[in-house]
Amino acid sequence: METQALVTLVPWTFIAQILNLFIQMYLIKRFLFKPINEVLEKRRALADKEIKDARSAKEEADGLKVQYETSIADAREEAAAIVSSAQKEAQARADELVKSAQAQVAGIKAKAEADIAQERKKAINEVKDEIGGLAMDIAGKVVEKEIHEDDHRKLIDEFIKNVGEAS
């Protein structure tokens, strides 16, 4: 029967244990759960704030990224415009230099042609003077002596020989 005494229920002990349980629950709720709930609320609020800050930082970063991409695109367009302008300016300068060179070449060519024409006239005049001198010499020789056919041939050969030497 001793085993039955362990299993038996004493009503006053049972009521005391129930009251003890309710008092412990009240004390735990009042002194333990409230501070823990307050700490949890503070942590939840802090986490929410950090999430909001992270979202706003992400939005700001996205805005800066869009601004950066826009400025990069503008810079690329400006660089392309500068390169295009430089190419056009270089082409215009090259065309100008080519025209200037062609004008100089044309001037040099015209001067050379004028010099050639002048030298040709000078040479022709010198040849005419030489021929005139030779003609005078021949005329003087003809006048000095009577011309025979052999003498005449001799004079013509001499004249051709002198003309050949002069040119």
pLDDT tens digits, residue range 131-153? Answer: 777 777 777 666 666 666 777 77
- Concatenated DSSP letters for 68-99? HHHHHHHHHHHHHHHHHHHHHHHHHHHHHHHH
d(C-alpha 76, C-alpha 69), whole Å: 10
d(C-alpha 21, C-alpha 28), whole Å: 10
What pLDDT does residue 127 have? 80
Ramachandran region, residue 55 (left: φ > 0; alpha: ψ -120 to 50; beta: rest): alpha
> In the structure, what pLDDT confidence band is assigned to residue 105 with cuts at 50, 70 and 90?
very high
Q: What is the mean pLDDT of the chain?
A: 85
What pLDDT does residue 147 have? 62
Percent of the chain with pLDDT over 90: 56
SS3 of residue 42 by DSSP: helix
